[in-house]
Structure 1
């Protein structure tokens, strides 16, 4: 492998302009994350009055100090339940990610009960299910810190209710796969939420505060006329001594979290990945420059080797067919010692590029090498020449190879992700193991201007066939509306809010994020959980 040499001048005005633009987007990202923190923090007085910890404090005590933590879906639900982006609170009322508990890499989720009492949202449901899917695929224990008022009946939607059943389906699958499910109930866990502890392998409940019942006192009275208190229906003492739902009874939040950590420690869970064949080396090129390397204008070309050279160990790179299908970049490198195949784009995907990528995907599968897709493409090339060259069938080769690939695949949206290029470069629909976006990323079936121009051409052709005059004012209005609609939805902040990725990250953190998820995948391959036909039933 040879080191990649940069052609970028960090002292140039162009670099400074790009860095300033990216920094503004990163500041917007941090402000949105802080908006969720601030919303939860406003509940501190009420938590203090009952001697409870805020959700983020609970999570901090659960995790091993001074260890890495990878947040998942930091913008989940942004603009989904509250369409006003100026006031919408991202995160889906959940704090979630992969971290370490008593030395064990685990998926951890905490209900943010400081926001609307932890009421479940559409974004939160999707986020929770995505976290469960990640735990299943990466063979991680699943730890859930629960306190939720249940569904928000004022915002009831039948589709949200039906899809929400996937949460409980996944809990049963986790247990049956031999992946321990540990739930700490800090407060309410009612209605459908009662099945969260019900479908867990180990349940800790906080005395005097934890509640779990299928119907709370108001619903019970409405449905049957029966009158009972919260404690009588589903208090922690009842579940620890009568129903048997709880294995452990805690005196307060700190005690409950300590018990959860003890449960993890008692499992003797294998957590050490196999030794890597080569030691890690920092890149020769400065990874801190990644905030200025990428242009914010998707129409301007970028040499993606400038990105790769700031990610790989020693900036070393072994190009695969560098002189064939040159707009598609394929090659091998290492990230923190992990062998990795890279696929990226320096333009649209043409027939030669698609063929090259298909062969490279198969080669990586042969060697068991994970693949990192760095998306920056306007899509598969169009035009008479490309159609004659078999773009459809060659693109299908790439799709076939990608769809049937069995090695871990990680996608980073770095710039443009347009048209079928989103699919061919392992977009969310192709189930990458992990998928993250840079704040500048843009995703759409095509550019807004292209969409508007396409419909304008169709409108003019229709008018010509009818012998009618074109309404130029209406056509101009239509163009503006289409462009605005495409532009609004293309933003990484919008797509991430819709759970079309696993979170938006600072470009300068990309190497650390990739190293973390590659280590997670490597551990998963080395681990053999004791799967069963069914999950652990509660008795």
Structure 2
């Protein structure tokens, strides 16, 4: 006789009735619901009792994330949406690449694939592509360079994470600008830090010569790309190049220094100087294919290892190379089946960000909307309350979270140092939710000295911590406090910004006020006020998330609703090839 089982979900109010012949089948039904995150909310009304997980067995307490959606909430939401809409417009413009004419010439005349299609052909069909610094290159002093002329990001090939660095030849013909180089070096830094195999999809005309002084000579300029390639190869981080177009001058070194290289027949060429320069120097007339094509480099020079008749064949070979790298991706071993979604709605965040004085954003409300089950074990809750520290799970990964709740005081800095030491000892990744205060407490000389010493300890602890560090600038990144809160200077594995974020020494109004007291003191009151207004407008623009992200001061802008998903993906990436390091000293209580 069949049993009737009815399940009811207390969250979405859906219910299901099942006719089952045995209890085993019913258990399988419950497992299916567990995957869709309803498992913990179903109740069985049948005669047969199912033991569901009990609340007491779950680690960490649930945060109180309840809010009242008042008029202030709506004002905050509207103010945030303005900034998000502006970002969306910049993003839309960026993704157009070099424009319709350049795209038409690239696809129809030259018969080449677009950079996005190339990346899709290389990655697994269902692989997510975490693109980095998407709006980089917009608003440069030398004009817009959409996506900096190069697309960088992380995806999976044969279910293994790798870094993709792909030239977009529709943007300035694939020329390398200073911002292009900066983005490529950052991608290599991320790859080295996380031990990600690198795949270079190359089609570059070399350096943009009018700006050669900003590209060529210094330590962290042109030649550093090749240095990084060699060093990563020596560290057993594979380097693979797929030549889809012209690789001229400096661009020629990428495939010739790679561990393995593929070249596309009739499209791919590698040479230091092209046919026009050869003719000018030697008087010899020669075609690009004869000078440095696939046949020459695969049959005669040996610069490349694989001959591909088409681009699609080249990417098939590239995927096969990944199999032969013999690397183990540990992220596939640590996937969790039962992951609790946050109890509170992540869409509320845009109404929680104050439209004025955003350093007053309640960090507990943010944590409650991004961590598993809104659960958080706070460390030293009553001590140093301006810095919130604690343990939680995010997409199934145990993490240590550090978030601002006001100015970093002496006690909060000591608390942070202690917490960072704990996470380093236990190999727990750190997540910084950065929102530093623009208002500091008033201190006398002795108190300021004690605060400086404590902040120095926090800075040292964060700098020397060997665990993965992920930073999200959710509000202000002002002053030296942003350094110790996972700023770029401490080399976090990833650092992202929300559209409302700002980055600078102090708020624009305070900078204008300071300058009016010193630099502008000789002017009349009317002139001072006018200059202050102009300065505030200028600094507000230069400290905005759009400006800082375009200049690659972070790894991209993410929206609050995307934060949990992207942090979860980053945690999988940093764990994929991570080597565990141990400390030879105990945790020092601060």
Same fold (TM over 0.5): yes
Residue in structure 2 matching 1:355, options 414, 424, 443: 414
Matching residue of 1:535? none
3-state SS of 2:95 partner: helix
Q: Confirm or deny: 8 A CA contact 1:142 1:182 kept in the other structure.
A: yes
1:118 aligns with 2:174: yes
Q: Residues 34 and 89 (structure 1 numbering): CA distance in 2 closer, same or farther, change over 3 Å?
A: farther
Q: Confirm or deny: 8 A CA contact 1:282 1:312 kept in the other structure.
A: yes
Matches within 5 A, 1:386-405: 388=447, 390-405=450-465
Q: Confirm or deny: 8 A CA contact 1:295 1:302 kept in the other structure.
A: yes
1:497 aligns with 2:550: yes
1:26 aligns with 2:88: no
Q: What do residues 85-121 of structure 1 show as CA deviations (whole Å, max 9, x unaligned)?
A: xxx3431011221000111110012111122221112
Q: Confirm or deny: 8 A CA contact 2:266 2:294 kept in the other structure.
A: yes
Q: Confirm or deny: 8 A CA contact 1:345 1:376 kept in the other structure.
A: yes
Question: In structure 2, how many angstroms separate the alpha carbons of the residues matched to 1:299 and 1:277?
Answer: 35
Matching residue of 1:537? none
Matching residue of 2:223? 165
3-state SS of 2:117 partner: helix
3-state SS of 1:270 partner: coil
For structure 1, list consecutive stretches of 5 or more residues without a partner in the other structure.
Answer: 464-468, 529-539
1:317 aligns with 2:376: yes
Q: How many Å apart are 1:295 and its aligned residue? A: 2.3
3-state SS of 2:91 partner: helix
3-state SS of 1:522 partner: helix
Q: Confirm or deny: 8 A CA contact 1:69 1:97 kept in the other structure.
A: yes
Question: In structure 1, how many angstroms separate the alpha carbons of the residues matched to 2:512 and 2:409?
Answer: 25
Matching residue of 1:136? 192
Q: Confirm or deny: 8 A CA contact 2:98 2:146 kept in the other structure.
A: no
Matching residue of 2:14? none
Q: Residues 480 and 20 (structure 1 numbering): CA distance in 2 closer, same or farther, change over 3 Å?
A: closer
Matching residue of 2:493? 433
Question: In structure 1, how many angstroms separate the alpha carbons of the residues matched to 2:180 and 2:282?
Answer: 31
Question: In structure 1, how many angstroms separate the alpha carbons of the residues matched to 2:524 and 2:109?
Answer: 65
Residue in structure 1 matching 2:126, options 45, 66, 74: 66
Matching residue of 1:450? 510
Question: In structure 1, how many angstroms separate the alpha carbons of the residues matched to 2:439 and 2:452?
Answer: 9
For structure 2, list consecutive stretches of 5 or more residues without a partner in the other structure.
Answer: 1-59, 582-590
Alpha carbon RMSD of aligned pairs, Å? Answer: 2.2
Residue in structure 1 matching 2:299, options 241, 245, 251: 241
Q: How many Å apart are 1:435 and its aligned residue? A: 0.3
Matching residue of 1:232? 290
Residue in structure 1 matching 2:559, options 497, 506, 531: 506
Q: Confirm or deny: 8 A CA contact 1:32 1:90 kept in the other structure.
A: no
Q: Confirm or deny: 8 A CA contact 1:349 1:379 kept in the other structure.
A: no
Q: How many Å apart are 1:387 and its aligned residue? A: 5.2
Matching residue of 2:428? 369
Question: In structure 2, how many angstroms separate the alpha carbons of the residues matched to 1:381 and 1:428?
Answer: 22
3-state SS of 2:376 partner: strand
Matching residue of 2:263? 205
Matches within 5 A, 1:452-531: 452-458=512-518, 471-525=524-578
The alignment of Structure 1 onto Structure 2 pairs a total of residues equal to 515
Q: Which has the higher contact order (CA 8 A, sep 6+)?
A: 1
Matching residue of 2:386? 327
Q: Residues 527 and 229 (structure 1 numbering): CA distance in 2 closer, same or farther, change over 3 Å?
A: farther
Matching residue of 2:148? 92
Q: Confirm or deny: 8 A CA contact 2:359 2:437 kept in the other structure.
A: no
Matching residue of 2:367? 308
Matching residue of 1:536? none
Q: How many Å apart are 1:166 and its aligned residue? A: 1.1
Normalised TM-score (structure 1): 0.91
Q: Which has the larger radius of gyration?
A: 2
Normalised TM-score (structure 2): 0.83
